[in-house]
Amino acid sequence: MYKVAVFVGSLRKDSINARFARALGKLARGRLDFHLVDLSDLPVYNEDLWESPPAGVLRMKDDIAAADAVLFVTPEYNRSIPPVIKNAIDWGTRPWGQNSWTDKPAAIVGASPGAVGTAAAQGHLRDIVTVVGTALLVQPEVYFVMKPGLIDDDDAVTDEGTAEFLDGWITAFEHWIGRLASGASDRSAAA
């Protein structure tokens, strides 16, 4: 089973994206092990802080290193990504020569109560995460429209068709991770 570090772009206690991430994790049980990364104590990126690295930054980089893949679950703020996601990405690329994102299998999803989901934010995030070196799953896409009752209090998806669609996405992500993991082991065996 692959371990997935999950980066939720909302720190709000009742975040619909955190709820969506937990629901995906529940659907993925037995195939993918989701670990929600705590981003609440990351200071705004400042190169000077590497002199005495913040504990939250070191923990986040350890979470990325321990994971087989990363999942970004992003809300959409003013047609773009939230600052907490960009800040985490920036911390992960440093210090120089220690980019935590390099060759890490990744995927992006997001939830919104609006009809277009998080399409604009996901587009911006795709541009960023490919530049920092992740191996991004680009299809299928998930622009989740959160409606009342669609995810219950136990983080279960209540609509059978929605659960089936999300299960298909989970299968695609699992296969993506496996494909890249086997390619990495093929490359190291050839070296």
- The per-residue DSSP string of 101-119 comes to TTT-EEEEEEEESSTTTTH
Please tell me the distance from the alpha carbon of residue 111 to that of residue 119, in angstroms, as a whole number: 10
Tens-level pLDDT at each residue, the chain (191 residues): 999 999 999 999 999 999 999 999 999 999 999 999 999 999 999 999 999 999 999 999 999 999 999 999 999 999 999 999 999 999 999 999 999 999 999 999 999 998 888 999 999 999 999 999 999 999 999 999 999 999 999 999 999 999 999 999 999 999 999 999 887 655 444 44
pTM summary value: 0.94
Number of other CB atoms surrounding residue 33 within 10 Å: 14
- For residue 69, CA distances in Å to 3, 14, 83 come to 7, 25, 21
**Within a 13 Å sphere around the CA of 178, how many CA atoms are in the beta-carbon half?**
9
Please tell me the distance from the alpha carbon of residue 162 to that of residue 144, in angstroms, as a whole number: 9
Residue in 55, 45, 61 with CA at minimum distance from that of residue 100: 61
pLDDT tens track for 47-59: 999 999 999 999 9
Boundaries of every domain in the chain: 2-190
What CATH homologous superfamily does 2-190 map to?
A: Flavodoxin domain (3.40.50.360)
Residue 53 DSSP symbol: -
